[in-house]
Structure 1
């Protein structure tokens, strides 16, 4: 069973191709299931599209859902097209997001933390002039927010849980073993899965999210895993899928999961 649950398309403003392009790419690489999971609109502003290069406009959400469901029917029997979405986690707007997303028949929702203290996690300049103690504080807050997102009950999957290293590789060396372990304990306790996200290979860190060290601790805490390429162009669909499966076996995992109608399906590795 080969699947990829994390793909984007043109509506978010920073990805190439339409939804059909990603489905066809999935068929070409032998996927049994492909999840379409573009970024939600930003619901923390009254604007139609507050961030046109980051997330789709509010009026596009229904069109997005309708298109995925239409393509799901069209490709039935060839590939299982899953309706997903990637949602930022903002504690102050969590109930707004929860209410809106609950109105649609998503197979799963990916919860991702992209901003800490109001600054993008991918902004490498955020680390300039920080003392070691301030770096630890920012990394600790990142994992506190991820744990809080797990507790929210809004998500089936947590996205790229060490992506803060993406454009700042030294992030991994900032010593925060306690907060990371506590975060993983909470995730395992809440029954939410984490994705192995191969888009890290397109960033300065040059590796998957999360690191092997975090995956080893995740296994200890009983955290289940899934796969997402986080493809922003069709050619990246299922990127490194076989390598990830092999590495997970080496770490000690025997299965991973995907979701349909928000129900978890276990798949042997």
Structure 2
């Protein structure tokens, strides 16, 4: 079973390619399941007062859903399309997130932490946010948010769990044990929530040169019994499925034989 459950498209502003281009590319590369999972609109910052091209507008959300459902029907029998959302976790906005999730017939929702307050730690334009901050303090705040996101129970999949490492900012070696503790505490929260963890291959193309999460965290997740799924986090059709062969190889090496797939927010395990 070849699946890719993490993709982004022109509507979000920082990706290129229309939804149908992704569908056609998915058929071309032999995907069985293609997850369309664009970013949730910004809910805690006025778009006009923030960096441009961060996410689709709230007005675009129903149009996104309509197009996903249309493509699901149009390509039935050629590829299984799953309609998803990357529902950014924003502490203090849980009710607003829940309403967006409940208002539409998603197949799955990815819970990801991008924002610490108004700082998007995954945006290359905002790496100056690390200036005058102790990396370990940022890691503590980030993993606290990941834990709280899992504890909401809102999400089917927890996305790129250690994306905080994306730009290579890390605490010093004197904090190595604490970082492992923070990561393991977040994983324990994912396990308790009953959600799935994504192995996001896109980290191989980032400054960290490592998948999200790390091999160590994947091994810990497996030991905890957390189900896994795959995503390329493609931001253009040509990147669909990128590095997923390496992700699959890692999981096979670690003894994983099944992946989590979704429909109507119901999880099924399929053969890797």
Matches within 5 A, 1:118-197: 118-122=118-122, 123-130=126-133, 134-168=134-168, 170=170, 174-175=175-176, 176-197=179-200
Q: Could you tell me how far apart the structure 1 residues matched to 2:259 and 2:192 are?
A: 17
2:233 corresponds to:
230
1:190 CA drift (Å) = 1.1
Q: Distance in 1 between matches of 2:100 and 2:88?
A: 13
CA separation in 1, counterparts of 2:91 and 2:159?
16
Whether 1:268 and 2:250 are equivalent positions in the alignment is no
Q: Alignment length, in residue pairs?
A: 266
Q: Distance in 2 between matches of 1:180 and 1:194?
A: 13
Match of residue 115 from structure 1: 115
State the shift of 1:169 in Å. Answer: 5.2
TM-score normalized by structure 2? 0.92
Q: Distance in 1 between matches of 2:191 and 2:38?
A: 25
- TM-score using structure 1 length: 0.93
Partner of 1:63: 63
SS of the residue corresponding to residue 194 of structure 1 reads strand
1:172 Cα shift? Answer: 9.1
- Does 2:246 correspond to 1:243? yes
Gap regions ≥5 residues in structure 2: none
How far apart, in 1, do the equivalents of 2:28 and 2:56 lie? 27
Residue pair 1:42, 1:50 contacting (<8 A) in 2 also: no
Alpha carbons of structure 1 residues 67 and 124: separation in structure 2 relative to 1, 3 Å? same
Q: Which moved more, 1:27-36 or 1:121-130?
A: 121-130
Distance 1:154 1:51 in 2: 27
Provide the rounded CA distance (Å) in 1 between the counterparts of 2:54 and 2:137: 26
Q: Distance in 2 between matches of 1:116 and 1:167?
A: 16
| Cα deviation code 1:88-118 (max 9, x no counterpart) | 1012111011012201000001111002253
Q: Shift of the alpha carbon at 1:205? A: 1.2
In the other structure, the counterpart of 1:101 is 101
SS in 1 for 2:229: strand
What is the Cα deviation at residue 48 of structure 1? 8.2
Q: What is the distance in 2 between the residues matched to 1:52 and 1:44? A: 15
Give the Cα–Cα distance (whole angstroms) in 1 for the partners of residues 6 and 171 of structure 2.
24
CA contact 1:42–1:49 (8 Å) conserved in 2: no
For structure 1, the residue ranges without an aligned partner over 5 or more in a row are: none
Q: 1:50 to 1:74 in 2, by over 3 A?
A: farther
The RMSD of aligned alpha carbons is: 1.9
Residues 36-45 or 118-127, more deviating? 118-127
SS at match of 1:88: coil
| TM superposition shift of 1:253 | 2.0
